[in-house]
Amino acid sequence: MRGDRRNGVAGEAVMRPVVALVVLVAGLVIALHAQSKLLAPTGTLRASFIATNPVQGRVDPKTGATTGPAADLTRELARRIGVPSVVMPMPDAGAVLESVKNGTVDLGFLAVEAERAAQVDFSDAYSSSGAAYAVRTDSPFQKSGDVDRAGVTIGAITGQAPEVYVREHAKNARVQSLPAVPPNAEMGRMLLDRKVDAFAANRTRMEELVRDVPGLRVLPDDYMVTLQAIVVPKGKAAQLAEVNRFLADVRKSGFVLSSLNKAKVAGVKVAPEPGR
């Protein structure tokens, strides 16, 4: 009898951690399922970004493959919640906004901007980047503050954060807003032909412009700092909270830094923690 009792007690002792492990695993599976249904209700995590913005990502012109921070973050989030992902390049910020609002995608990648925040909800930022002016090599401008003068024309892309900023803050210069991002050769020709005196965009894009087009340079200081974030449909508080938890982890772990380094985007840094 005593041996049976001892064996029974020993058996219970062995089973307790097994049962606890089963309960833990079951809880994790249930939590993962709930998370995937929240973030990817169709069973695929769908995201959009601006195809012409290298700070967010790039599209291979031959294969159509997407790379860069937007693609990396989407795929990592999808891996964590156990679903496939699709990353959709869009022509401009307006198209990204619309794709989120109409449910074509679950997440969008955009620079934080007040007008947009009235239409979608922004996550905490994952990266920060400067916006700068490209000018002719012989331009008299030496710093950003020199550009806002009477008789100066600034080129920019309609609706993008750098354009919104100069349109709202330029007091003396005229802002010529273009409807779409022109190829670098065309953008450079606008400067060299003196159709514009400066071009305003994120520093990454302007550095790539001056590498492609001789006779141009980028002013050394940034006239504004842009924060890149993820957007979700308005009012989706639970979805936004999950995205923010994910971004907090990938900022801290070095994942975002690794993605930025791999993308080789000039002047882009990991965003500071919220509140700092």
CATH number at residue 244: 3.40.190.10
Q: Looking at residue 275, what is its pLDDT?
A: 74
Euclidean distance between CA atoms 204 and 14, whole angstroms: 59
Q: Looking at residue 34, what is its pLDDT?
A: 65
Is 10 inside any structural domain?
Answer: no
Instruction: Calculate helix-pair angle for 237-253, 2-39, nearest 10 degrees.
Output: 100
How many other CB atoms sit within 10 Å of the CB of residue 214?
A: 9
Euclidean distance between CA atoms 156 and 178, whole angstroms: 6
Q: Quick check: helix, strand or coil at residue 156?
A: strand
Q: CB–CB of 195/188 below 8 Å? A: no
Query: 136 and 116 in one domain?
Result: no
Low-confidence ranges of the chain (pLDDT < 50): 20-32
Query: 244 and 107 in one domain?
Result: yes
Query: 187 and 105 in one domain?
Result: no
Boundaries of domain holding 61 = 38-128+230-270
Owner of token pair 């492609």: 212
For residue 35, the surrounding DSSP H or E stretch is helix 2-39
Q: Looking at residue 81, what is its pLDDT?
A: 97
Query: 120 and 53 in one domain?
Result: yes
Q: Looking at residue 27, what is its pLDDT?
A: 41
Q: CB–CB of 177/257 below 8 Å? A: no
Is 195 inside any structural domain?
Answer: yes
Dihedral pair phi/psi, residue 49, rounded to 5°: -150, 170
Query: 77 and 51 in one domain?
Result: yes
Is 23 inside any structural domain?
Answer: no
Q: Based on the structure, what is the number of domains in the chain? A: 2
* β-strands 107-111, 45-50 pairing: parallel
Query: 154 and 188 in one domain?
Result: yes
Query: 48 and 120 in one domain?
Result: yes
Owner of token pair 């020993």: 10
Owner of token pair 């891996």: 79
Query: 215 and 144 in one domain?
Result: yes
Q: What is the largest CA-CA distance in the chain?
A: 103
Query: 123 and 135 in one domain?
Result: no
Query: 180 and 251 in one domain?
Result: no
Residue type, 268: V
What are the CA-CA distances from residue 229 to residues 108, 116, 181, 226 (Å)? 8, 12, 21, 10
Both tokens assigned to 116: 């947009």
The CA-based angle 237-88-263, given to 5 degrees, is 95
What phi-psi label fits residue 263: left (phi over 0), alpha (psi between -120 and 50 degrees) or beta?
alpha
Is 276 inside any structural domain?
Answer: no
Is 68 inside any structural domain?
Answer: yes
Please choose, from the candidates 90, 96, 88, the residue with its C-alpha nearest in 3D space to the C-alpha of residue 113.
96
Query: 146 and 117 in one domain?
Result: no
Both tokens assigned to 49: 């970004």
Query: 72 and 98 in one domain?
Result: yes
